[in-house]
Amino acid sequence: MQFPFQKIISGGQTGADRAALDWAIAVGLAQGGWCPRGRRAEDGRIPDVYNLQETAASDYAIRTEWNVRDSDATIIFSIADVLTGGTQLTQRLALKYHQPWVQVYAGMGTQQAAARLYDFVVQTPIATLNMAGPRQSEEPLIGEFVTQVMNAAFGLATDDS
């Protein structure tokens, strides 16, 4: 399948980040991004299956900034409609770098979120897409939401349907 971008990047944290990277792997897209030194995540070391480069520091904010900086656009996923913490930082950094971004959240429903995401990526010139959102401990259903929205946006069948 052809996608309107060539690569997905994220920081490798549990939740939205890993779901984005797993989705890229599943559909055969290039994946990567920046992660904290030591491949640090809330569940321990980020597995090597993800093509992530380590920043010089273990600070999550640095990898968040570098992923925004090194991409053409950012998709922010969330369960809640209000962004907080590192997810809110992603939004602020996209604004700082004058980068296109869009948020999709669970309250929109999967189909509306997928339509918003799809419209955004086909109307925005993107080679490298940064995908971000909360970690698993903050929004336990975020990984499933990311996968459902991406599959719906690009017409991919899932085993869960």
CATH number, domain containing residue 21: 3.40.50.450
Domain membership flag for residue 161: no
Domain membership flag for residue 121: yes
Give CA–CA dist 156/52, Å, rounded: 26
What pLDDT band is residue 157 in, cutting at 50, 70 and 90?
low
Domain membership flag for residue 122: yes
pTM of the model: 0.95
More confident residue, 74 or 155: 74
pLDDT tens track for 41-96: 999 999 999 999 999 999 999 999 999 999 999 999 999 999 999 999 999 999 99
What pLDDT band is residue 160 in, cutting at 50, 70 and 90?
very low
Strands 40-41 and 44-45: antiparallel
pLDDT tens track for 6-37: 999 999 999 999 999 999 999 999 999 999 99
pLDDT tens track for 94-138: 999 999 999 999 999 999 999 999 999 999 999 999 999 999 999
Domain membership flag for residue 115: yes
Q: How many domains does the chain have?
A: 1
Print the domain residue range for 142: 7-153
Predicted local confidence at residue 156, as pLDDT: 79
Predicted local confidence at residue 136, as pLDDT: 97
